[in-house]
Chain A
Amino acid sequence: SQKIEQNSEALNIQEGKTATLTCNYTNYSPAYLQWYRQDPGRGPVFLLLIRENEKEKRKERLKVTFDTTLKQSLFHITASQPADSATYLCALDMSNTGGFKTIFGAGTRLFVKA
């Protein structure tokens, strides 16, 4: 079965540093991969989408990479700020399976200290 792994341990970094979060997956080759941000008590909010033929995607201080050989995506936040503290979810497109559309990882909690 398909599986997504995100680091369940929280990531603690100092303000101004680059945060790097990892999303690994097995048994599937998604055409798209998405990253979402979720704040406590709220619904997830879309951040970035990357296609399988794109190695890297950037949006302001955010950068996502997609390595289909390693079956891994990395999510970077440069010049991190305390306001970046949240849980970050990765999500894989499953539409090629003909069944469920998207599956989500459990997320990694990021804490940015001032």
Chain B
Amino acid sequence: NAGVTQTPKFQVLKTGQSMTLQCAQDMNHNSMYWYRQDPGMGLRLIYYSASEGTTDKGEVPNGYNVSRLNKREFSLRLESAAPSQTSVYFCASSEGGQGSYEQYFGPGTRLTVT
């Protein structure tokens, strides 16, 4: 039981390049999330998927797109990377979408955009 896995662990991009961050969970959870974490700031929600087949914008969606490929997988795409997107990205999942459910986080992807 691996929990939540993310790839890659580290990535360096040049401004304007694109990439996809992959996330998978093996806990049969319905809800999945993408957050970014910057120094001195809390985790900020980029996009979430309450259930398979649905996605919704979070607090900071600009510059990102997501795909809920199936119940297990939720990917985050940067179409044209910008230095402001340098951050640590965390994927998370929970059994349900309400705040009464604990979230399980992946190990993170450390992205640098030069």
A interface residues with partner B (beta carbon < 8 Å): 4, 8, 30-32, 34, 41-46, 49, 51, 89, 91-95, 100-107
Contact with A along B9-29 (1 / 0, CB 8 A): 000000000000000000000
- State how many angstroms separate the Cβ of B14 from the closest Cβ of chain A: 24
Contacts of B58 in A (CB 8 A): 100
Neighbouring A residues of B42 by C-beta, 8 Å: 4, 89, 103-107
The DSSP consensus for interface residues of chain B is: loop
Contact with A along B73-114 (1 / 0, CB 8 A): 000000000000000001010000111101111111000000
**What is the minimal beta-carbon distance from A66 to any residue of chain B, in angstroms?**
13
Contact residues on B (Cβ < 8 Å of other chain), bracket: 20 to 34
In contact, B99 and A30 (Cβ under 8 angstroms): yes
Tell me the minimal C-beta distance from B47 to chain A in angstroms: 10
Decide: A31 and B40 in contact? CB cutoff 8 A: no
- Beta-carbon contact of A95 and B97 below 8 Å: yes
Give CA–CA (A94, B100) in the complex, Å: 10
Kindly list chain B residues whose C-beta atoms are within 8 Å of the C-beta of A30.
Answer: 99
Q: Are A101 and B48 in contact (CB under 8 A)?
A: yes
Query: In chain B between 3 and 59, which residues have their CB closer than 8 angstroms to a CB of chain A?
Result: 4, 31, 33, 35, 40-45, 48, 58-59
Our pick among A31, A43, A93 for the contact of B106 (Cβ within 8 Å) is A43
In whole Å, how far is B111's beta carbon from the nearest beta carbon of chain A? 14
- Are B40 and A106 in contact, with the CB atoms below 8 A? yes
Question: Is the Cβ of B97 less than 8 Å from the Cβ of A42?
Answer: no
